[in-house]
């Protein structure tokens, strides 16, 4: 669609700009402020330049949290994307089943994030949880299952929770992508005698490219910002083995009151996210162009 050229359109954007700037720009400037000073108390601050940044960049706990974050987000994508596609392919295409499936799929998405954590505590605890009691009664594990006991158990629980929580979003996106494929494509495939696998690889997958790009990037971004669920479930433990970036940052900022280092960390974190956002945005634009061509 050809757009009208008119800079007066800025007046329409201005209210949205102001309200987001209030919550987005002012705080960010404060963070920059903190990150360059050593603050002893109200009105007592010394300019320290890039000292906090140097400190944080060589901080091995930050490095550990960052690696953990990359591994976690990577695993999340590897599991959720294929699983979401499979679910979308299996979903009914018409009838009452469509509404029922959509409602069930959307249900985990509207549960508050810390309640998700609570649900999984109750579900996996070795004394009262269905999963915890169930797996321990099988007597397969050397150490009884308890997500607070061993790092590997904490990770499995967290990943199971994350997959349970967000795979429906991937499935809903993939389903929407599938629904947008015109019936004629399937008829053509049928005439050519294409196998279901060939139909999937040559018709469904390419047509889903747009929504899948969005799904991959959304899941990557949001799992990178994860806070409330591990906070409620493991609190970052056992030890620091499930301390992801946001959990470490909140610990640093509110429990130790290390304003300077926490602020420097915030900015590094924000820049990493910004880098991904930019890639995300570019990818989206390219998807749009690809569809038109």
Partner 1 sequence: MKIQKRTIALCLYFGILILPIYWMLNMSLRTNADILGNFALYPADITFRNYIKIFTDPTWYTAYINAILYVSMNTVMSLAFALPAAYAFSRYKFIGDGQMFFWLLTNRMAPPAVFLLPYLQLYSTFNLMDTHIAVALAHCLFNVPLSVWILEGFMSGVPKEIDETAFIDGYSFPRFFLTIFIPLIRAGVGVTAFFCFMFSWVELLFARTLTITEAKPIVATMTRTISATGLDWGLLAAAGVLTIVPGGLVIWFVRNHLAKGFALGRV
Q: Does 194 bind partner 1 (CB under 8 A)?
A: no
Using the rule CB under 8 A, which residue among 164, 185, 200, 202 binds partner 1?
A: 164
Q: Which of residues 215-274 bind partner 1 (CB under 8 A)?
A: 218, 221, 224-225, 227-228, 231-232, 245-246, 249-250, 253-254, 259, 262-263, 266-267, 269-270, 273-274
Q: Is 24 in the site for partner 1 (CB under 8 A)?
A: yes
Site residues for partner 1, 101-160, by CB under 8 A, read 101-115, 118-123, 127-130, 133
Q: Does 71 bind partner 1 (CB under 8 A)?
A: no
Could you say whether residue 44 binds partner 1 (CB under 8 A)?
Answer: no
4 near partner 1 (CB under 8 A)? yes
Per-position DSSP letters for 11-36, written without gaps between them: HHHHHHHHHHHHHHHHHHHHHHHHHT
Q: Does 276 bind partner 1 (CB under 8 A)?
A: yes
Residue 76, classed as helix, strand or coil, is helix
Q: Give the shortest CB-227-to-partner 1 separation in angstroms.
A: 6
Please tell me whether residue 13 binds partner 1 under the rule CB under 8 A: yes
Please tell me whether residue 70 binds partner 1 under the rule CB under 8 A: no
**Given 153, 177, 236, 243, the residue binding partner 1 (CB under 8 A):** 177
CB neighbourhood size of 4 (10 A): 6
Half-sphere CA count of 130, side-chain side, radius 13 A? 3
Contact call for residue 26 and partner 1 (CB under 8 A): yes
CA gap 14, 252 in Å, rounded: 35
Please report whether residue 175 would count as binding partner 1 according to CB under 8 A: yes
Contact between 187 and partner 1 by CB under 8 A: the answer reads no
Nearest CA to 235 out of 147, 175, 169 is that of 147
Distance between CA atoms of residues 238 and 66, nearest Å: 17
CA distances for 93 relative to 96, 130, 175, 176, 212, angstroms = 10, 33, 9, 11, 19
> 274, 267, 249: which is closest to 36 by C-alpha?
267
Shortest spacing between CB 122 and partner 1, in angstroms: 6
């Amino acid at each position: 669609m050809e757009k009208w050229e008119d800079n007066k359109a800025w007046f329409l954007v201005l209210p949205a700009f102001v309200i987001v700037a209030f919550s987005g720009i002012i705080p960010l400037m404060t963070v920059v402020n903190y990150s360059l000073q050593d603050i002893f108390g109200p009105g007592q601050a010394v300019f320290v330049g890039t000292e906090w940044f140097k400190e944080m960049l060589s901080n091995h706990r930050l490095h550990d949290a960052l690696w953990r974050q990359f591994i976690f987000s990577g695993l999340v994508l590897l599991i959720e994307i294929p699983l979401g596609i499979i679910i979308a392919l299996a979903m009914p295409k018409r009838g009452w089943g469509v509404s029922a499936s959509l409602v069930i799929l959307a249900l985990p998405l509207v549960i508050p994030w810390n309640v998700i954590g609570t649900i999984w505590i109750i579900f996996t605890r070795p004394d009262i949880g269905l999963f915890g009691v169930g797996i321990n009664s099988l007597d397969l594990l050397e150490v009884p299952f308890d997500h607070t006991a061993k790092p590997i158990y904490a990770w499995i629980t967290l990943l199971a929770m994350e997959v349970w929580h967000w795979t429906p979003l991937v499935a809903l996106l993939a389903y929407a992508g599938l629904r947008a494929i015109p019936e004629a494509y399937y008829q053509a495939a049928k005439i050519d005698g294409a196998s279901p696998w060939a139909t999937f690889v040559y018709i469904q997958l390419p047509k889903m490219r747009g929504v899948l790009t969005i799904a991959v990037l959304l899941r990557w971004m949001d799992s990178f910002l994860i806070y409330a669920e591990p906070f409620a479930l493991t609190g970052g433990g056992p030890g620091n083995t499930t301390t992801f970036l946001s959990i470490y940052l909140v610990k640093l900022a509110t429990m130790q009151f290390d304003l300077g280092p926490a602020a420097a960390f915030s900015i590094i974190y924000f820049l990493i996210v910004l880098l991904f956002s930019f890639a995300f945005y570019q990818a989206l634009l390219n998807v749009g162009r690809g569809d038109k061509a």
